[in-house]
Every structure is written in C-alpha cells, then in structure tokens.
C-alpha cells in the first residue's frame, strides 16, 4: 500500500523538490505551506510528516504536539538549525527525527524508510538479504555464504542499516544518528574502528567485498 507523506514547508521551491523526490520514490504526497494548513491537511491517511521549523505564523515546534495528538505518525524535522540543544528540545516535544538543511536526498529517503518501518513494526520481523548475506533482525543473527557470523551491537546495527538501504549511500550523519542515537556521541575514529572489524568478519567468510566507502560522504553496499 502506497504511503502518504505530508510536507509542511513554506518555501515553494523546497516543497516542490520534496514532492517530486518522494513521488519518484513511490510515495504519495500532500503539500502544506504553514503550520495551520498542515494541521488541517493532517489525517489518518498520512503515514509520516516532514516538518520545517521556520514557518509563517505558528512555527514548526509550536505545532508538533498538535500534529501528534491529531494522528500520531512519525515527524521528521527539516531545518537549517544545527544547535544540539534545540534538537533535544524537539525530541521532547514529540519529533521522531531531525535532518539539517541542506540535506542529502538519499539520507532523507533512508530516514523516511527507517521511520516508516519502525512505526509499522516491520523492521524487527524481517529477514534482510543481500547477495549471500542473511540478517535476521528478530534473533540478531547473521550468516555469510552459509557461515554464521557473530556481530556485537554496533557492528550488527551498521550492517543492518546498510542492508536496509542497499541502493543508497548512508551518510555519516545518518549512521551516527541511527547507530549511536545522537550525532555527537561518536566520531570518525569510532566509526572507522567498527567498520574495520565488520569488514574483517565478513571477509573471513567470503572473498567478496560487500561494503564500499563513498569518500567524504559515508558507506553503502557494493553494487
């Protein structure tokens, strides 16, 4: 069933860009250009909301709670504000995720997909397959070329994130927020150490290179 995303963004160019991007990737969209208009457009048919903070009249943070009370679906904030304390405040108001403008389109699509899967409960029950890797998110097991691989928490979460987004590059920002919960709780060195361990364990089961580095951006499953 096609998911509907409500875009609440007062900049018409950005709103149009998001609408086109989402429709090209299989989503239905509804566009609103103010907080009040977004509240009126929100209904049980909406599966997720993209909410800009800097809206005319009532700002995005003023309408988050009302959006959630009307119909509780994931809300992803889009904003140029980088302040970590502001992000924490928004989470306490009910926001589910936050992406900073200007954002990478693949990262936005990956965040949308992750929130929709989490909201439907599908993520925990799926067997995810990529080439000869099988990952079971229910019992936290991984096999590569038929061989079991023991992965601790962060390595498992990294592989799961990459396999869930096989056709997209996972940016470092997305990785930090998804695997380590907050962007400032890990750094490049931490990520590099875990990636090195993960790649080594996969390599022990097969000569194939499964994960490639996209320099300056992040990682993805090798095409």
Token readout for 102 is 């200007």
- Inform me whether the pLDDT recorded for 120 exceeds 80: no
The number of residues making up the chain comes to 223
Token readout for 3 is 């998911």
**Tell me: the pLDDT tens digits for 9-63?**
999 999 999 999 999 999 999 999 999 999 999 999 999 999 998 898 888 888 9
Strand partners, 50: 7, 76
The pLDDT confidence band at residue 207, using thresholds 50, 70 and 90, is confident
pLDDT of residue 184: 56
3-state helix, strand, coil in the chain (%, to 5): 45, 20, 35
CATH among 1.10.10.10, 3.40.50.360, 3.40.190.10, 2.40.400.10 for 123-221: 1.10.10.10
Angle CA 120–126–132, to nearest 5: 150
**Tell me: the pLDDT tens digits for 84-100?**
666 667 888 888 888 98
For the domain 4-120, what is the CATH superfamily, name and number?
Answer: Response regulator (3.40.50.2300)
Query: What residue has token string 């003023």?
Result: 62
The residue among 22 and 137 whose pLDDT is bigger is 22
The residue among 1 and 159 whose pLDDT is bigger is 159
The helix-helix angle for 188-203 and 153-164 (nearest 10°) equals 80
pTM, entire model: 0.71
Q: Where along the chain do its domains lie?
A: 4-120, 123-221
């Amino acid at each position: 069933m096609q998911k509907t995303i409500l875009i609440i963004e007062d900049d018409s160019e950005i709103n149009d860009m998001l609408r086109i991007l989402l429709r090209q990737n299989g989503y239905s969209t509804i566009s609103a250009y103010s907080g009040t208009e977004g509240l009126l457009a929100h209904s049980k048919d909406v599966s997720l909301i993209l909410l800009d903070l800097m809206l005319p009249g009532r700002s995005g943070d003023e309408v988050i709670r009302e959006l959630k009370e009307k119909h509780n679906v994931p809300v992803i904030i889009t904003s140029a504000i980088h302040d970590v304390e502001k992000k924490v405040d928004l989470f306490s108001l009910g926001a589910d995720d936050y992406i900073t403008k200007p954002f990478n389109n693949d990262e936005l699509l990956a965040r949308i997909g992750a929130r929709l899967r989490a909201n439907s409960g599908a993520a925990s029950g799926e067997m995810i397959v990529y080439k000869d890797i099988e990952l079971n998110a229910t019992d936290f097991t991984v096999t590569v070329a038929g061989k079991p691989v023991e992965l601790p928490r962060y390595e498992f979460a990294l592989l799961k994130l990459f396999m869930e987004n096989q056709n997209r590059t996972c940016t470092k920002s997305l990785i930090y927020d998804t695997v380590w919960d907050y962007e400032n709780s890990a750094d490049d060195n931490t990520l590099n150490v875990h990636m090195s361990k993960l790649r080594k364990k996969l390599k022990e089961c097969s000569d194939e290179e499964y994960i490639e580095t996209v320099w300056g951006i992040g990682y993805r499953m090798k095409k």
